[in-house]
């Protein structure tokens, strides 16, 4: 044996003896101190209980990690040995196994490790440093993802409610790793090992094209926050206390959510010239209004020696990347919060609300008082859910929750009703009438520093009301590309404005340009969308910022016209045209691409090529006496310019040659026509009638409805009928009807429109109120045409010209 080796063995033995002596001496010293200061033996029992509890917790977690790692290495034997925590393909019949994907991942795992290492250092590390400024410096000291790759527990491919040019695939991700990641905070090394992650990952292949690889891009994201667990190493393990651990868990969850939990996503282009905005900025499906009202019969989390125990309950709501928290109600088992939160929903058929009630314990980890999971798809179908829900994972307790599904309307006439509804809600003053989607793309020609004309490091701060958002810093450039998507709640767009300030990080956050956009300008824009370059104030003469603004009004009522989009916008901009959408595609027809770098506004000659969008006023729109935005009252269009959205026609003025009662004195009816080449159908929207003749003898009113036939067919298949409007001579219907008919047959068709009074079987009141036969050959239905038609008697055989008053 060499002298060096013998010296190392002796050194090791000496260290072992010294460590053993220190432990025994410390124990003896502790016993001596306990006797000297006359401590009660109960302190020793308390220490023993704490030690046993901590030891059992460590063993339980170690066993769980070992089982998950064994499952990742040999799934079959692990499942046969243990029937808990089964993968999704065992539990759900519509989820399939995908072992070939697991073998593929296992083969490429070393290369994925290098990619993740670069991602953590280049993307995550700067963000964590920004969020931990108050603590100190932060960096990754060691990144080792280990030898156990993640597994796909099951695969589900969606074939319903999707378009023909896209594929939706959900993956059950199970990652039971043997990784080890060390970080340094202020020179102190701490780490994470045995990271556990499980969540539902969605992959969207879109758009499908006729070139290899057959799809233009990938969009990857978690539908809900994944479950994450881990063990701490090094010095962090010694401080594995609730406060520090909760802070680390919160940071990890926030960073994962900021990268790939809805509405955030990772987008990967697969071919050139693909419109990435179609994947990066898809429009949301709606807004969920969450009313956290109250709870009752909660468990006592704070025990007292005298009297009954109480709790200090509060609620935490997690939804996608959103996280809301109510106020704490002290010393009660029946808290009343009456809090309202609003969350934008991107995927109503797959996302869930995770609700947890907690008891606040300052200085220690808050106790759980129960949890609840709510499926959003059920709420979106019913419109409203208001009920007491039993709490899970607890002995007892109920929570009162009200959920309201809000549709997104692109008709400015819905605004008055939305403002009226929120003014009637006395529970809070913070409800929104609209949602503003901001896609802040880029800036150009920003001013440079005075010293040697150095390029700035710009970032933008966007503010609306009480909410503020900002882009990342782009170092050393006067033409930054941010590509940042933001969403802001809007209380009243008629008085609010969007403020943008561009600052230079390099020059002590000095402002180098600003911009204010009044939201009321969006109310008069086609489809309430602005997509252009804006000149910055207090900046260079050529300094501009490019962004897309899209305003949507929240409505509890649905109108199918809001989902109609110009057909050319349905087709993504790729090098190869994808197949057209099927006529039954409904779920995703409302998507409108928002360009990553939008061009400047189109001239009138270019805009004239855009197909007309018919967006009639929905049910519940303002009636006489309500305030209508001035910009939405009339629209004057040139002969060669088509509109993307119908604007409400001004009522006839007293100077018109024909009064509001029409040429025949029986009133008028307003109708919109448009032919949809995608659906191969004539779309007819019955808006309203004015000054109908009274039919009821008692009150000089009527109960009108409209019946239609597409002549010459007068069978039941051609019959269309609106709802009855009680006691009204100026009814507002706003109902859309569809006639499947080839476009070439339209010149040979007439539409018979009859206004009738709804009467009882033995009633002697008048039933026929007026009718009109419209010659479709005289209308250009390739674009939206909104017109007033004069009603005449059904018994009038004299052929009289129908008076047309074109409003579009």
Q: Which helix (H) or strand (E) holds 357?
A: strand 352-359
Please say which residue of 219, 238, 271 terminates a domain: 271
For residues 249 and 102, membership in a common domain is answered with yes
Is residue 499 in some structural domain?
yes
**What pairing do the DSSP bridges indicate for beta strands 785-790 and 768-775?**
unpaired
CA distance 558 to 100: 44
What mean pLDDT do residues 354-366 have?
Answer: 85
Q: Which of 280-289, 373-382, 502-511, 569-578 has the lowest mean pLDDT?
A: 569-578
Say how many domains are in the chain.
5
Q: How many residues does the chain have?
A: 808
**pLDDT of 584 above 70:** no
CA distance 481 to 86: 45
**pLDDT of 82 above 80:** no
CA distance 379 to 402: 10
**pLDDT of 80 above 60:** no
pTM value?
Answer: 0.57
Is residue 718 in some structural domain?
yes
Determine the pLDDT at residue 566.
41
Determine the pLDDT at residue 674.
85
**pLDDT of 805 above 50:** no
**pLDDT of 443 above 50:** yes
For residues 308 and 264, membership in a common domain is answered with no
Is residue 623 in some structural domain?
no
Strand order across the beta sheet in which 681-690 lies: 732-740, 681-690, 668-676, 785-790, 804-806
CA distance 50 to 108: 44
For residues 244 and 109, membership in a common domain is answered with yes
Do residues 677 and 743 touch, judged by C-beta distance below 8 A? Answer: yes
For residues 47 and 142, membership in a common domain is answered with no
For residues 92 and 64, membership in a common domain is answered with no
Tell me the residue range of the domain where 754 lies: 649-806
- Collapsing DSSP states into helix, strand and coil, what is residue 81? helix
For residues 235 and 106, membership in a common domain is answered with yes
What mean pLDDT do residues 122-150 have?
Answer: 77
Paired strand residues for 222: 201, 261
Is residue 182 in some structural domain?
yes
Determine the pLDDT at residue 799.
42
Is residue 706 in some structural domain?
yes
For residues 672 and 723, membership in a common domain is answered with yes
**pLDDT of 302 above 50:** yes
Determine the pLDDT at residue 429.
66
For residues 122 and 173, membership in a common domain is answered with yes
For residues 541 and 683, membership in a common domain is answered with no
CA distance 329 to 315: 10
443 burial class (0-12, 13-18, 19+ CB within 10 angstroms)? buried
CA distance 573 to 594: 12
Determine the pLDDT at residue 503.
93
Please say which residue of 372, 391, 407 terminates a domain: 407
**pLDDT of 613 above 60:** no
Instruction: Please work out, in degrees rounded to the nearest 5, the angle formed at the alpha carbon of residue 188 by the alpha carbons of 20 and 256.
Output: 120
Determine the pLDDT at residue 664.
86
For residues 785 and 752, membership in a common domain is answered with yes
- Across the chain, mean pLDDT equals 77
**pLDDT of 543 above 90:** yes
CA distance 604 to 606: 5
CA distance 158 to 169: 6
For residues 675 and 696, membership in a common domain is answered with yes
> In the structure, what pLDDT confidence band is assigned to residue 197 with cuts at 50, 70 and 90?
confident
For residues 368 and 505, membership in a common domain is answered with no
Is residue 336 in some structural domain?
yes
Q: Would you state the structure tokens that stand for residue 628, as one six-digit string?
A: 């209508």
> In the structure, what pLDDT confidence band is assigned to residue 282 with cuts at 50, 70 and 90?
confident
- Residues 373-414 have pLDDT tens digits of 988 888 888 889 999 999 988 888 999 999 999 999 988 888
What is the CATH classification number for the domain harbouring 300? 2.60.40.150
Determine the pLDDT at residue 239.
55
Residue appearing with tokens 């108050």: 134
* Chain CA centroid to CA 407, Å: 12
> In the structure, what pLDDT confidence band is assigned to residue 620 with cuts at 50, 70 and 90?
very low
């Amino acid at each position: 044996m060499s002298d060096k080796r013998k010296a190392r063995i002796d050194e090791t033995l000496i260290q072992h003896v010294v460590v053993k002596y220190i432990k025994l001496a410390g124990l003896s010293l502790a016993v001596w101190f306990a006797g000297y200061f006359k401590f009660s033996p109960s302190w020793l029992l308390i220490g023993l209980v704490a030690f046993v509890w901590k030891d059992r917790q460590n063993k339980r977690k170690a066993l769980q990690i070992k089982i998950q790692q064994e499952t990742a290495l040999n799934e079959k034997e692990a499942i046969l040995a243990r029937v808990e925590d089964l993968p999704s393909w065992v539990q759900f019949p519509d989820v399939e196994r995908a072992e070939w994907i697991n073998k593929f991942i296992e083969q490429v795992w070393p290369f994925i490790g290098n990619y993740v290492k670069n991602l953590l250092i280049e993307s995550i590390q700067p963000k964590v440093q920004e969020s931990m400024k108050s603590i100190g410096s932060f960096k990754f000291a060691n990144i080792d993802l280990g030898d156990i790759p993640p597994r796909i527990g099951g695969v589900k491919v969606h074939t319903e409610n999707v378009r023909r040019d896209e594929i939706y695939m959900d993956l059950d991700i199970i990652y039971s790793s043997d990784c080890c990641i060390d970080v340094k905070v202020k020179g102190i090394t701490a780490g994470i090992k045995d990271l556990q992650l499980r969540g539902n990952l969605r992959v969207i292949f879109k758009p499908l094209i006729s070139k290899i690889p057959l799809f233009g891009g990938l969009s990857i994201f978690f539908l809900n926050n994944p479950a994450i667990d881990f063990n701490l190493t090094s010095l962090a393990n010694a401080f594995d206390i609730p406060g520090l651990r909760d802070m680390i868990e919160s940071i990890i969850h926030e960073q994962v959510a900021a990268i790939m939990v809805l509405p955030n996503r990772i987008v990967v282009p697969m071919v050139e010239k693909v419109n990435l905005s179609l994947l990066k900025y898809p429009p949301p499906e709606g807004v969920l209004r969450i009313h956290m009202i109250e709870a009752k019969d909660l468990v006592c989390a704070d025990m007292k020696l005298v009297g009954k125990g109480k709790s200090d309950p509060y609620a935490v709501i997690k939804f996608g990347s959103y996280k809301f928290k109510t106020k704490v109600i002290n010393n009660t088992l029946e808290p009343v919060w009456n809090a309202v939160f609003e969350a934008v929903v991107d995927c109503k058929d797959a996302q869930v609300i995770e609700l947890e009630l907690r008891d606040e314990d300052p200085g220690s980890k808050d106790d759980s008082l129960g949890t609840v999971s709510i499926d959003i798809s059920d709420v979106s179908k019913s419109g409203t859910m208001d009920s007491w829900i039993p709490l899970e994972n607890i002995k007892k307790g109920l929570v009162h929750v009200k959920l309201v599904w809000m549709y997104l309307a692109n008709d400015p006439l819905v605004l008055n009703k939305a403002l009226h509804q929120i003014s009637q809600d006395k529970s809070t003053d913070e409800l929104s009438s609209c949602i503003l989607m901001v896609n802040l793309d880029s800036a150009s020609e920003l001013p440079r520093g005075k010293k040697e004309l150095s390029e700035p490091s710009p970032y933008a701060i966007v503010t609306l009301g009480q909410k503020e958002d900002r882009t990342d810093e782009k170092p050393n450039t006067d033409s930054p590309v941010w590509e940042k998507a933001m969403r802001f709640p809007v209380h009243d767009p008629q008085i609010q404005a969007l403020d943008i300030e561009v600052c230079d990080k390099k020059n002590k956050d000095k402002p180098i340009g600003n911009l204010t956009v009044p939201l009321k300008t969006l109310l008069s824009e086609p489809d309430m969308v602005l997509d252009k370059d804006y000149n910055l104030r207090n900046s260079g003469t050529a300094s501009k910022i490019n962004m897309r603004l899209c305003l949507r009004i929240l409505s509890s009522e649905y109108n199918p016209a809001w989902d109609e989009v110009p057909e050319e916008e349905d087709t993504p901009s790729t090098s190869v045209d994808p197949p057209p959408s099927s006529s039954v595609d409904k779920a995703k027809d409302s998507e409108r691409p928002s360009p990553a770098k939008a061009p400047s506004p189109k001239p009138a000659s270019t805009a004239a090529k855009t197909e007309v969008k018919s967006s009639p006023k929905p049910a519940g729109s303002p009636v006489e006496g309500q305030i209508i935005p001035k910009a939405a009252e009339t629209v004057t269009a040139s002969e060669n310019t088509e509109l993307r959205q119908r604007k409400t026609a001004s009522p006839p003025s007293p100077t018109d040659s024909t009064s509001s009662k029409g040429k025949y004195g029986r009133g008028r009816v307003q109708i919109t026509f448009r032919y949809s080449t995608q659906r191969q159908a004539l779309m007819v929207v019955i808006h309203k009638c004015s000054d109908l003749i009274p039919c009821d003898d008692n009150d000089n009113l009527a109960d009108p409805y409209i019946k239609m036939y597409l002549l010459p067919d007068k069978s039941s298949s051609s019959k269309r009928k609106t709802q009855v409007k009680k006691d009204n001579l100026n009814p507002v219907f706003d109902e859309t009807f569809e006639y499947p008919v080839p476009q070439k047959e339209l010149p040979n068709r007439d539409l018979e429109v009859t206004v009738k009074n709804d009467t009882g079987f033995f009633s002697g009141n008048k039933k026929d109120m007026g009718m009109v036969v419209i010659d479709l050959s005289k209308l250009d239905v390739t674009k939206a045409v909104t017109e007033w038609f004069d009603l005449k008697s059904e018994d009038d055989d004299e052929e009289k010209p129908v008076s047309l008053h074109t409003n579009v």
